[in-house]
A and B are shown apart, each in its own frame.
Chain A
Amino acid sequence: MKKLLVAAGLMTASLTAFAEAPGGPGCGWGNMLLNGQKGLPMHLLATITNGTSGNNTFGMTSGTNGCSVGGTLTYGGKSMIDLSSIMDEFSEDVARGHGDAMTTIAVALDVQAEDRVVFNEVMHENFTAIFTAEDMTAEDVMVNVLAVMKSDSRLAKYAA
């Protein structure tokens, strides 16, 4: 698997919150976890013709939910794919300690196969540290995930 998380040269790591959500306003990273996502009624309209709603994407940027084109999503100075739309599923997987969304986050963070079990355990045990409130954003979640990884000896290297 190609490294999806690429060190961005001279920028130093910083885990402080960003003034604006990565990718710009309207990008999925600012979506609140467990809250405020558009539901099925809106979705139904968009599926009538298997269509997409004007947001013409071709995988050129990481985002498909309104993230700014050409801009790079960054966390702690690293560019990253937009995982905000699977934060719901990720929260469930972390709560119970298994699931595809958690595996996906691990792969996106370049956690190697031999460390995935540790990743799952550490995430599961630190659920309350990662998910602190129901109205946190996907961005807050990522910041907490990286902080938890940094404090674990096996996972620190993936969050550095």
Chain B
Amino acid sequence: MLFRYVVFIVGIFLNFPILAEPVVKSSSAIYQQKAIALSLANDPLWLALIHYYPATFSSSGFKSYVDDAGFFLSVSGETDPQAELLTTINALFAAVTQPDEHAICRFPYRAKWIQEQLGISANDFPDVSCTDYQQWREQVNAVKASLIFPAAYLNSPSSMFGHTLLRFDPADVDSGSDWLSWALNFGANINMEDNSLFYAYRGLAGGYPGVYNMMRYFEKIKEYNYMENRDMWEYQLNLTQDEVDRMLSHVWELKNINFDYYFLDENCSFRLLELLELVRPESRLIEKFPLATIPIDTVRAVIEEEFVARRVFRPSEALVLNERIHGLNDDEKRLAKALAEDATLLDDEPFLSLSDDRKGEVVQVAYSYARFEQRKVARDTSMAKRSFQLLQALNKTPSKPVSVPVPAAPDLGHKSSLLGVGGGYQDDRFYSRLTYRYNYHDLLDRIEGYQQGAAIMAGRLDYRHYEGGLGQLERLDVIDIFSLSDWNLFMHSPSWRVQAGYERVMVGEENRDGAYQVNAGVGLAVAPMAASKIYSLAEARLEHTSIQKAFINTGVGARLGYLWYADWGTQQVEASGTYFLDDSYRARLDIKQNWVLGTQHALRLDAGLEFVRDVESPFIEASYRFYF
């Protein structure tokens, strides 16, 4: 005993672990050789565990998506699967100093997989109890998982195409504990000191590290359903207990680990596909997304690969509030709005004369509306006082839960990319036309699974081929967003649009020319009937053409339109005009009709007029549209 103690002390001084090392080294060396003989470093699962992807400029042919030294045990691990594997094997046999930092505890999935692949008896590993990991697993306590899709949200660049996260549920989640389940979110770890423009730039360019975070699911419900008024769709997965276990053991390995974060491809949805494919390697999820990863497309892929057991809808607070507002008559609506702004009206005749049931509905709308408005601003004492008075009134009146009709699920909507072929006639010439859109949805596309009045397109191309052989690029939009929000007694959100790209326009009375342009507008929309909108916007436009004198021509304009949604399709009538600072102007009228032929098929008709001064140029176009 004394001898061992002395050797140990000497060992410390020599910084050379004498005692444990000989045994350890031989074990790990044998298994390292076995791993090399089995070519284990090239095993798809090992490559997936370390998040390797094929990389041309790496000597091993691989590089990891992970950008964090804390994830690799080998110094060359980021680009060398073999070195990382051999170093990991060695680390698994290393003497235990800090149990929770030992490779067995820090990388439980790696440890289990290596043990299985190399036939290592558990007794051969050093005896270590992973307190942190075990506590975390007990806390998360999951046997099931759901893929969560908060619907698209045009007012945030990162969420325009939706978002995805995972939720881990205990066995009895259906008994009302879902708010307490754990959510796993992958997102950028941002620096709050940067301004918002910088955020957007760095988010796109990859300036922020991406990390996984876990939080109670109610934090996410608050964020999406309450703060951002986004509906949430929950896709309960059919993962087995074993698959959930393995996924969580890998999630633990990613704790506080930085990934490169890119908005378009290596984003939240891509990272979740990796996790799903890790536990079901036979599924082919990742290979479906060679370029950008749009969240709803990943949801569809997960459904196609048969991961999904059922779908649950969680309406936003705004949707619930709207449903309650619909239940009020006009007088009650005005009263509810007035109460939300002045709680002393609770003691006045109009409110007191209502029946108890109606009082309950009116107070509920007043309170929900007050909270809805207050979420937009920093709250002050008078708001808090008013809310409290309304709550006290709510407590004294009867209240019924309200159920919101479930809309069509987003995965049932048309697919994100579009190809259109057709023909048209303008300026005494026939032409054939080709349309390609990278993504996502315009105002007239089939509405099922999308939101009325919300259009977002990235990468749209129109090409015309005229009779006689002339081919011309008619339009190339980089981005085109149109957000129409109903303006009514309760809701006061502006409508807006922004568009940037290249388009051929009438310039002067004789000429058409290509214009590089950016335009934006703001205004408001109303819903005269259900499923219809009338909108009006004031706009500004900057454009460059080769004909105009000014290098950049500046214009101001207006847009007025009508939109109507029917089961069989969508109709739009729109007039717009721009007056330029060089005293020229341009206007156009469009009558558009989209006929739905099937989920992925439609016919589109567009007829109208373009005006410049005394010249008018009528046109008519028809095309078949295929979504894929």
Contact = CB atoms under 8 A, between A and B. Distances in A.
A160 B433 CA distance: 75
Interface string A30-43: 00111111111101
Interface string A98-111: 11110110111000
A150 interface: no
Interface in A76-134: 81, 85-86, 88-89, 91-92, 94-101, 103-104, 106-108, 113, 116, 124, 127-128, 131, 133-134
Contacts of B211: 52, 56
Contact of B379 (A34, A43, A44): A34
A64 B395 CA distance: 30
Interface string B153-194: 001111100010000001010011101101001111111100
Contacts of A2: 138, 141, 170
Nearest to A133: B388
Interface residues of B, number: 76
Interface stretch (B279-287, B370-378, B536-544, B586-594): B370-378
A16 interface: no
B348 to A, nearest CB: 21
Nearest to A61: B139
Give the interface size class of chain A: 35 or more
A124 to B, nearest CB: 7
A136 B186 CA distance: 34
A128 B388 CA distance: 11
B136 interface: yes
B388 A81 contact: no
Contacts of B399: 96-98
Q: Give the most central of A57, A59, A124, A133: most B CB within 10 Å.
A: A59
Contacts of A58: 136, 212-214, 255-256
Interface stretch (B85-93, B102-110, B196-204, B599-607): B196-204
A46 to B, nearest CB: 7
A56 B176 contact: no
B401 interface: yes
Nearest to A4: B180
Given A91-B391, A96-B395, A48 B378 contact: no
A47 B385 contact: no
Nearest to B379: A35
Contacts of B296: none
Contact of B157 (A36, A48, A94): A48
Contacts of B226: 89
Given A52-B190, A59-B214, A34 B180 contact: no
B384 A39 contact: no
A10 interface: no
A133 B384 CA distance: 10
A135 B202 CA distance: 39
Nearest to A97: B399
A53 B191 CA distance: 6
Contacts of A94: 395
A38 to B, nearest CB: 7
B395 A124 contact: yes
A57 B156 contact: no
Interface in B254-279: 255-256, 261, 263, 267-268
28 contacts: A2-B138, A34-B383, A34-B388, A39-B378, A44-B156, A48-B156, A49-B188, A49-B202, A49-B203, A50-B187, A51-B188, A54-B189, A57-B215, A58-B136, A85-B222, A89-B226, A92-B391, A92-B394, A95-B395, A96-B364, A96-B395, A104-B177, A107-B175, A107-B176, A107-B179, A127-B391, A134-B384, A135-B381
